[in-house]
Amino acid sequence: MFDLTGRVAIVTGASRGLGRQDALTLAGMGADVVITDVLVEDDPNLQQTAESQGSMLAQVAVSQGWVHSNATAEQIRKMGRKSLAIKMDVTNREQVRDVFKKVRDEFGKIDILINNAATLDHAAQIPNQSYELWDRDVKVNLTGAFNCTREVWPYLVENKWGRLIFMSSVAGTLGGFGQASYSATKAGLIGLAKTAALEGGRHNITANAIAPGIIESEAGKAAAANNPMYERFKSRTVFKRFGQPADIANTIGFLCTEEAGYITGAVIEVAGGIPLFTA
């Protein structure tokens, strides 16, 4: 049960954090996995690439050594699976199309797409939200996932089997104070996932959204260390603790299996009960 041997997965934004753990988990279940990220260690202009994204977190990732695209692919190959790390910007449609074709040609097919790439550094109340960062967040978080889904779709239809995962957030289901652009784009992913589920059913393609709470990834730990509000978030969970990347990845791994073939159009909260009315 829960075996992904023979499946080929693409994970976007997989150089670190949740995406990296997703990739390692899928590989551990037997899948061949392609790592895509705008940041890769062997980019001779890595710092400039990070700066060009207009993302503070991308620059922090480079300065802190959190970029592990090639290292993750190598770790997967040591598991006995096939893997590549490919530089890809989800907002660049031509690049997405070329990368997906390359994967299809080299791996023979594509079965699974994890839409994980996202921005998470625009914090301001609505009157102070930056127009520029709003546009960036829509372009990366929502349109980027659409670009990847559209380009992978013919390959999933060709297989008559597919798994699409959209990384939403409890900010998308509950709203997020000071997170208008992030919350709106994560809510939009839920609509995209449900539509993909409706259209994919006739092709044996499932599509589901994951809504994580606060997870202790590299970025999550850094944010919690400097923000006293995170103690309030922690106290809202049933377990009085934050989640781990593996909590998200294990849920995604299950949704990608044959056994989860009757689950589609779902929004699965992996949030330690944050949405519950707790004392």
Q: Kindly list the catalytic residues.
A: 182
In 3D space, the residue among 248, 244, 239, 242 whose CA is nearest the CA of residue 268 turns out to be: 248
* Among candidate residues 251, 267, 149, the one with its CA nearest the CA of residue 199: 149
Assess contact for 151 and 247: CB atoms under 8 A: no
- C-beta of residue 137 within 8 angstroms of C-beta of residue 122: yes
In this structure, the chain runs to a length of 279
Q: Which helix (H) or strand (E) holds 209?
A: strand 205-212
Closest listed residue to residue 260, CA positions, set 29, 104, 77: 29
Task: Phi first, then psi: give them for residue 9, nearest 5 degrees.
Answer: -120, 145
Distance of alpha carbon 240 from alpha carbon 151, whole angstroms = 41
- Give the CA distances from residue 203 to residues 17, 182, 190, 258, 261, in Å, rounded to whole numbers and listed in that order: 32, 31, 20, 14, 12
Question: Beta-carbon neighbour count of residue 246 at 10 Å?
Answer: 15
- Axis-axis angle for helices 218-225, 17-28 (nearest 10): 150
Are the CB atoms for 155 and 110 separated by under 8 Å?
A: yes
Nearest CA-CA partner of 114 in 21, 202, 41: 21
What CA–CA distance (Å, rounded) separates 103 from 33?
10
